[in-house]
Amino acid sequence: MNTKVKHWLEDETIDIFLGYKIVDGHPLPHCFTKERIEELEDLIVGQARYSLEKIATHITTVNPDIKIGMLARDCNQRALNVLFIWNQLNPENIETININCCPSNLKEHGDCSYLEPETAGVYKKQVGVDNNLQPEDVEKHDQPQRLTRWMYEFQKCIKCYGCRNICPVCFCTECSLEHKELVDPGTLPPEIPIFHLVRAVHMAGRCIDCGLCEDACPVDIPLRLLYRKVNEIVVNVFDYQTGASAQQSPFNILGDTVTLEPKPLESVETQN
């Protein structure tokens, strides 16, 4: 891994490399450059997971032509695909070194902070939310029960915007969550359930199920479960698996062709 990155930096395939390094005992994201190539000896995969692609997006905003290399778990890769689709990053400017990751619907194996307690360190305690809740598990309960539970979860919200801020695929300069017509400002908890539902709707076709939002939520709202449900609908209606490829998304309206084509609905067919 280190040798490959070294070659990349030396032959200028990339200008900077985003990886991890231990700083003061913490595994932190680190920017490796050609000028300080000796630092590459400290390059690690890192047990704590940060959104390197979000850092890459920020760097690209300042310096659009810079070539960035980065370590990529599956979630990073899915996020990159979404960011390519939405023109936030240019695939030609990104090189990745793929590393093992956490389990998801797309891939089962993993070795990161999302795993069971024996492989996770102190940095990932299993408190509150079971991070691997699936929509099917919850749908066993009846609707009023589910509503009560969701309202209970939502009213815990302290409106820190952590779920949005940490999200690798949240890049809008103007956010609906801060729009006073949509979400009434100045109240705590924020207007529920609309605050969380606005975000959930925006996660359709965007959420790559990385679980960083749930990690960052100070009050343990099972956000990953909510967005999983939203994306389940996207799969059922558009047959689109978010982040699986960098091909155009059915939600992408930029470009010459309209791509929002739902699968034929059965009810429409019977009417005809």
Identity (one letter) of the amino acid at 47? Q
Q: Is the dihedral of CA 107, 111, 113, 119 positive or negative?
A: positive
d(CA 80, CA 95): 10
Answer for the pair 210, 78: CB distance below 8 angstroms, yes or no.
yes
Least distance to other proteins from the beta carbon of 23, Å? Answer: 6
Binding to other proteins by CB under 8 A, coded x per residue (else -) over 134-163, reads ------------------------xxxxx-
Lookup: tokens for 103? 């389990």
Q: Which of 45, 55, 120, 194 binds other proteins (CB under 8 A)?
A: 55
Binding to other proteins by CB under 8 A, coded x per residue (else -) over 58-77, reads xx--xx--x-----------
Is residue 180 at the binding interface for other proteins, with CB under 8 A as the rule? no
**Per-residue burial over 53-83, b = 16 or more CB atoms within 10 Å of its CB, e = otherwise:** bbbbbebbeeeeeebbbbbbbbbbbbbbbbb
Q: Is the dihedral of CA 86, 243, 138, 143 positive or negative?
A: positive
Least distance to other proteins from the beta carbon of 214, Å? Answer: 10
Least distance to other proteins from the beta carbon of 5, Å? Answer: 15
Span near other proteins by CB under 8 A; candidates 56-64, 178-186, 194-202, 224-232: 56-64
d(CA 97, CA 250): 28
Minimum CB distance to other proteins smaller for 54 or for 78: 54
Please count the residues of the chain: 272
Binding to other proteins by CB under 8 A, coded x per residue (else -) over 8-47, reads -------xx------xxxxxxxxx----------------
DSSP helix/strand/coil, 25: coil
Span near other proteins by CB under 8 A; candidates 176-184, 210-218, 229-237, 239-247: 210-218
> Under the rule (CB under 8 A), what is the footprint of other proteins?
15-16, 23-31, 48-50, 55, 58-59, 62-63, 66, 113, 121-123, 125, 158-162, 165-166, 215-218
